[in-house]
Structure 1
């Protein structure tokens, strides 16, 4: 009888090990986490405006919703840059003209030292306008052509640039150093389109050799 019990002992131990293994393989329940909140800019509609489908000012297609009326509070998806785009994205979806909103004053950027560095217009560019503001419809105040030297501004060693709603990148030009006069503008700066969405090449190239 003792021998028979000895033969069954390993079976009992094996069964216990199997149960323990199954217990170790039970899935661990995931602990739900709270959604991450993104800081948004609060604005108020200052004049009745439709809600557009895209950020492109040339796209007039509107979303199938009622226009936003004066006094309506809206939240912007992204913080406002120092020079806001023509259209801004609102929560939960859609874009509105920034001119139709009252968002208060944008935060004042920390003071930095403005300098200028020399660049050269790419040799395939025949003529391109320097404008008063960083947008296509702004007044043209000068023009530059192939291989011409252009002095662009920098803040803290970073080129002063703005990307508009269409994806076009504008750089700030030091008019005094580039043309030798200020065109009656104070401060003496203009804006040059450095890239276009349809062209990956820059208007300006590094150096002034």
Structure 2
């Protein structure tokens, strides 16, 4: 199995190379994001280990660029940042797993083997509704072919509505699946629907009185 380790901590990379080689991996390494991206695109790797904090190009950007280029090699992200939003950010940009430093080498190897066993997922289909598109791989949103800059929460709300474009989605359902904050005031949904309408047009999200919302932009 071929693995590419992209991390600027030379000592850690040396240790990983030694340990992973002993476990039967063929190991290549890069110490900055630009080099790692180029190697990941050009090399036939079974799995990638990518640190978040890298010189020249951070790990989030590396994974985002790989997915945009239709490179779907499994990625395990490494980071000293262990907040839930940090983990979510890593997975949102297209990583398959996330491990915080310091980590157990035994766990790292087990996770890499688990990733290699998984079938490589195809690029997810672009979601569309009329003039609206959302690419789940790159998180890029367009209206009438023009890119629109949305926040992570706005993008998540639009994605959920697009994935359920065949029906009306209620406020409570949106709170549960998009906002994931028990006890949140349901009015927060109205607030974010308003943000989407200002950026995408008033017909982007339609209100079905007494029921909820559905995607529009027809």
TM-score range, shorter chain: under 0.3
Q: Where is the strand percentage greater, Structure 1 or Structure 2?
A: 1
Q: TM-score, normalised by structure 1?
A: 0.22
Q: Greater RCO between the two (CA within 8 Å, min separation 6)? A: 1
Instruction: Give the structure with higher Rg (CA).
Output: 1
Q: Where is the helix percentage greater, Structure 1 or Structure 2?
A: 2
